[in-house]
Amino acid sequence: MPRHSIIDSIITTGLLALALPAAGVRAQPATPPAAPPAVAAAVVALPAFQAGMWEYRRSTRDSSGVKQADPAGIRRCSDPTRDIRQRIDELKQKGCRFSPLVKSGEQYESSWLCPANSGVIGIREVVKVASATRYETVSEIHHSDRTVRSITQATRIGECPVPGMTTSPLPPMPLPPKR
């Protein structure tokens, strides 16, 4: 497996398979983070999103506040709920261990650990669901002494117009204010 493939997969897909290009993350030797906390709770169902043409806009910063790349956007025919399930299965096959999904109101939180050639990568992701056609994802990837934070806004913009047309790039967008 190439050095960045698991990191790129996590950044580009995270739990939600957003299919945006990876943004300059460099793996470094790591001290493995603590295992995701065990949560005693009922199994939480994944959020249900409508399939169709989705617009994804993402901005990424590292722990020093340095912008990792220009904000990225893409339009893609997608079924986000199906994509979530596929990405979880793919990451499990790569050896990632997931803590149970936790739901609070319309917010879903997940964390997992993934092995990498340079150590273990810890990921925490919060999905804030506005509706079956709109959500925001905040992802934090912890590796060594570095944290990469990515915010993705996803909006369903309609039906898929042409069979076989899956993606189209969007112009760069301004970064959201740093929190």
pLDDT in tens, 104-122: 999 999 999 999 988 899 9
- For 142-176, how does the pLDDT look when each residue is reduced to its tens digit (9 = 90+)? 988 889 999 999 999 999 976 655 555 555 555 55
pLDDT band at residue 24, thresholds of 50, 70 and 90?
very low
- Provide the domain limits for residue 88: 5-23+52-169
Instruction: Establish if 94 belongs to a structural domain.
Output: yes
In a domain, 179, yes or no: no
Q: Is the dihedral of CA 90, 93, 98, 101 positive or negative?
A: positive
Give the chain's domain count.
Answer: 1
Query: What token pair was written down for 32?
Result: 């493995």
Residue 57: inside a domain: yes
